Amino acid sequence: MNNPTNPVGWFEIYVQDMDRAKEFYQNVFLKTLSLLESPDLEMWAFPWDHDKPGCSGALTRMGFKDSGRGGTIIYFSCEDCAVEAARAAEHGGKIEREKFSIGPYGYISLIQDTEGNMVGLHSLK
């Protein structure tokens, strides 16, 4: 099936302490997040280039949704996932699983952010 739309259009990482979470993600991925105007919730978006494949998303704080380990893992693309995993540990996160091979699809590492969310890192080398 030839579908011109990306399978994932957006992601949200739920947080309790936005300042702490923003600092963590900006330091791990060396990106600046930007405030999105949204009623009843606070959202800070990751950078996004509309002309390139992939999707963007945001750190989100809303009163009725907890952060923490859940059934969804999003994977950030990296040059070498071990580098971002090390940065995560340096900035208050935790490495859940060190870099390991997933065969011809590259490598992944699993980290926990400062809010208790499990996040995946993927690289081809």
1 domain residue, yes or no = no
- Residue 2 — pLDDT band, cuts 50, 70, 90? very low
pLDDT surpasses 90 at 19: yes
pLDDT mean over 93-105: 95
107: in domain: yes
The pTM (predicted TM-score) of the whole model is 0.81
Residue 2, domain member (yes or no):
no
- Residue 4 covered by a domain: no
> Considering the chain, what is the average pLDDT of its residues?
89
Q: Which long-range contacts (CB under 8 A, 24 or more apart) does 38-44 make?
A: 42/18, 43/12, 44/18
Question: Domain span at residue 61?
Answer: 10-123
CATH number of the CATH domain containing 104? 3.10.180.10
Tell me how far apart the alpha carbons of residues 104 and 115 are, in angstroms, rounded to a whole number: 32
Question: What's the structural domain count of the chain?
Answer: 1
pLDDT at 64 over 90: no
Domain assignment of residue 75, yes or no? yes
Domain assignment present for residue 52? The answer is: yes
Lowest model confidence (mean pLDDT) among 11-20, 21-30, 35-44:
35-44
